[in-house]
Amino acid sequence: MRIKQPGWIPFGTEADLAIRRLSGNGARLFFHLYFRANRQNGRLDVRYDSVASALERSKRSIVTDFAELREKGACLVDSAVNQHTLVHVEICDMFWPFEKASPKNSDIQAQYLSQIRALLGSRECIKCDFGPSDQMFAQDLFARSVPIEQIRRAIDLGCSRKYASLLNGTDDKLISRFAYFQDLIEEASEADPKYWTDIGTPVLAKLEIKWLASQRSASPNSAPARRKSKKETR
């Protein structure tokens, strides 16, 4: 017998405890978090508005449900300043089926994810909220010991191509998911390191500056130019 989808999680006494202790809405929120949390430490970052949309509930109701999880000892919740910023959640040991990693290993992974988040936030063509699916992809890279430098090169390569397509008018969408770079991470591992110093990084900087300039010069009420007589390449 084979599981259709990878990334499964045990559903045993811990999950049964949540069903018995929590209200219907509280349990629904709990399992939304339970199946998306980092397997190493039971943690994840979410946004109230994103969770509300996923569960088809109001933001106010979701805030109340989070309070229930905290009060009944199912999760530790570091409440956000407002409903549009990240909420840090950790599922408590009694409700978590895995043995959690030692604090040292957990801190190393947290730093790894923080570095990825910073890389994604460093480019104007990326608008990624680093939600649960992005975090799971990052955790998989950590488990595979993919170097941060390789990820940085993949992001640079992907952004260079994105800027070129934006400037040429063949694309008008920004990058919204970390998984956009999945294939490029492998490609970046095969390139000559000298390429990034001599060609890759300088080209990316020029393309980004040119695209930002085009955005500033465009009228607020008009769409960006769709075509250029001279096409950009990475």
Burial of 70-97, coded b for 16+ CB within 10 Å and e otherwise, reads bebebbebeebeebeebbebbbeeebbe
On whether residue 70 sits in a domain, the answer given is: yes
The count of structural domains within the chain is 2
- Asked if residue 212 and residue 107 are part of one domain, the reply reads yes
CA distances from 141 to 87, 112, 173, 199 (A): 23, 10, 25, 26
Supply the pLDDT for residue 234.
52
Same domain for 117 and 142, yes or no, is yes
Give dist(CA 48, CA 67) in Å, integer. Answer: 12
Q: What is the pLDDT of residue 105?
A: 66
Task: Please indicate, yes or no, if residue 125 is contained in any of the structural domains.
Answer: yes
Residue ending a domain, choose from 95, 130, 160: 95
Residues 50 and 107 in one domain: no
Domain annotation covers residue 114: yes
Q: Give yes or no: residues 68 and 138 share one domain.
A: no
User: pLDDT tens string for the chain (234 positions)?
Assistant: 455 555 567 778 888 999 999 999 999 999 999 988 888 888 888 888 889 999 999 989 999 999 999 999 999 988 755 555 678 899 998 999 988 877 666 778 888 988 999 999 889 999 998 887 888 899 889 888 899 999 999 999 999 999 999 999 898 899 999 999 999 998 888 777 777 777 778 889 999 999 999 888 875 554 444 444 445 555
Q: Tell me if residue 31 falls in helix, strand or coil.
A: helix
pTM: 0.55
Question: Looking at the structure, do residues 109 and 180 belong to the same domain, yes or no?
Answer: yes
Which range of residues forms the domain containing residue 156? 103-217
Residue 189 lies in a domain: yes
Determine how many CB atoms are found less than 10 A away from the CB of residue 68. 18
126 and 201 assigned to the same domain: yes
182 falls within a domain: yes
**Among residues 30, 63, 95, which one ends one of the domains?**
95
In a domain, 1, yes or no: no
- CATH number at 19 reads 1.10.10.10
Taking the C-alpha atoms of residue 52 and residue 61, their distance in angstroms, rounded to an integer, is 8
Cβ(34)–Cβ(43) below 8 Å:
no
Residues 70, 130, single domain; the answer is: no
- Confirm whether 63 is domain-assigned: yes
Q: Which two tokens stand for residue 191?
A: 């390139």
Q: Are 71 and 121 part of one and the same domain?
A: no
The answer on 76 and 119 residing in a single domain is no
